[in-house]
Amino acid sequence: MASNAQIAGVAPDAFSEKKRDDSQNNLETGSIEPAPVVYAPDEDEKDGSMEINYHTLNWWQAGVVMIAETVSLGILSLPAVVANLGLAPGIVLLVFMGVLSTYSGLVMGEFRKAHPWVQSFGDAGEVMGRSIGMGKLFQEIFGWAQTLFQIFVMGSHLLTWTICLNTLTDSSTCTIVWGVVGLAVFWVLNTPRTLRAAGYYSFASFASIFTAVLITMIDVGIEKPIGTTSIEVSRTIGFTSAFLSVTNIAVAFSGHSCFFSVMSELKVPNDWPKALMLLQTCDTILYIVVSVVIYVYVGQDVPSPALSAAGSHVVRKVIWGIAIPTIVIAGVIYGHVAAKYIFVRVFAGTKHLVKRTTVGLIGWLGITAAIWVIAWVIAQSIPVFSNLLGLVCALFASWFTYGIPGSLWLWMNYGQWFSTPKKTLQFSANVLLMLVGLLLCALGLWCSGEAIAQDKGKTPWSCKSNA
């Protein structure tokens, strides 16, 4: 089987592949791995061998794409998180998780700079696994886990879509029907094979969620629609409830599963830190402002998703209507990355990867349709928004955002962990990343499982409204 490193951003050029094979052989024999040959898309464009150019994003476009896929559903659960934990613990955790996720993103960029053919966590797993003779096994585990995570996130977007449509139509149609309509809409928008267009329509996605939460903040400030305006600096609550709130914060910073794919489509790979800082600055500030303001004016009963906090029924409809672009576009970005991984695994080393062929078209359409059907099944099976986010975090975001990036740094710097004061500090930071990932996974699975079992409010596979 061809390696997944031969992925869409890497042209099937014989010289490049030979260099990469030599690099692998040197690593396996214990010699120093030479600097790999970085793919230059212009070469294939000049000789006409590549019809699909995957290197299309400027750094600001990449930042906007990541804002669109990160600042989407996660932000809608955060006001309820702050209400549950209390103002001080909520803000501290938002800042702490934001700093950790920023650092883990920088580690991922450092790893890909050393291994420019890496396009996914599957490729990263292959690179690490080769040193112990388990490259293919690590590739399968990491790569398919990443894809499953993205499909679960796609399911959360479909679930939010049904909540939105039920709100807009006063639940005039069966919720399952709205899910099928969403399945068709998301699939059609996933038919393009690159993220080039996403760099532009992601502006609409960010404008959509920003406007929706801004109107929500203005409305609750005027109407004070639910509960009281009493503010609790901190609260004493049960462990399960508290830890589910932590997992919801982690999900809000969980765009990392798409990071390698976005890096692979940058015109200038060294621009990654700028794109990452644009994302992390915007999302951290927005998360804190939105969650605090809505909590202060709504009180303890703030709902999740927070867009339903508006007091007027008409205003709620307007807000959900404005939120449609971000619900759809962010889901489509996750769908693109998941489909791209599967497509490359199926067609690696063939002309269908870089040329517009009938087989390639049919393969892409079939793969995108299949993963959206799976996402639809997940959305119908776990109908409670916060519970689905908690499960997603425990199973996947814990590792892709925190645990695995920490292990990448430890692997890259093995034997040099304490060589300098800076390395020692970095070692401590990456061990912390791994510990956070482990705790989020183990405790998050237990807490989300308990919450799903105890929640009797909404029934899976039901026509009842989930608005």
What tens digit of pLDDT does each residue of 114-128 get? 999 888 888 899 999
Rg (CA), the chain: 22
For residue 373, what pLDDT is reported? 96
- Give CA–CA dist 439/243, Å, rounded: 10
Report angle CA 68, 70, 76 to the nearest 5 degrees. 100
Please state the separation of Cα 450 from the chain's center in Å.
24
With 0.85 as the threshold, say if the pTM is over it: no
- Give CA–CA dist 446/246, Å, rounded: 13
In the CATH scheme, what is the homologous superfamily, with its name and number, of domain 51-454?
Amino acid/polyamine transporter I (1.20.1740.10)
Nearest C-alpha neighbor of 280 from the set 100, 138, 82, 25:
100
Nearest C-alpha neighbor of 315 from the set 211, 231, 400, 452:
211
For residue 226, what pLDDT is reported? 62
Q: Structural domain boundaries of the chain?
A: 51-454
Residue bearing tokens 């402002």? 289
- Give CA–CA dist 316/38, Å, rounded: 50
Residue bearing tokens 């672009």? 325
For residue 225, what pLDDT is reported? 66
What residues contact 357, with CB distance under 8 A and at least 6 apart? 351
Q: Which residues in the chain come in under a pLDDT of 70?
A: 1-54, 195-200, 225-230, 456-457
